[in-house]
Amino acid sequence: MRITCPYCGERDRREFYYRGAATDLDRPAPDAGEEAWENFVFLRENPAGVTRDLWYHEGGCGAWVVVTRNTVTHEVLETRLASEARS
């Protein structure tokens, strides 16, 4: 699996640390309640197909990257900087 870092270009998967579902970017407000927090921290869509997840270019530029990926084929469809994907 190779991942295209928006800064560094296409790189080996080994250079990246995997964080998990990109829903990590949608942090609820501190007082959003138990349900919202359970949803954020624990519950997952976990799709068999296209997903968005967060990877950190640890062995490269240090950027957080949102990777749109197919979990069944391992095809990488799109990558964006997390800072941009968030806004």
| Residues of this chain that bind other proteins (CB under 8 A) | 1, 12-14, 18-21, 34-35, 38-39, 41-48, 51, 53, 71-74
Residues in the chain: 87
Judge contact between 51 and 64, C-beta under 8 A: no
Nearer to Zn ion, 8 or 36 (CB): 8
Give min distance, CB of 38 to other proteins, in A: 4
Closest CB to other proteins among 49 and 87?
Answer: 49
The residues, ordered by sequence, that sit 6+ positions from 45 with a Cβ below 8 Å of its Cβ are 21, 23, 51
- Contact footprint for Zn ion (CB under 5 A): 5, 7-8, 57, 60-61, 63
Tokens of 63: 């950027």
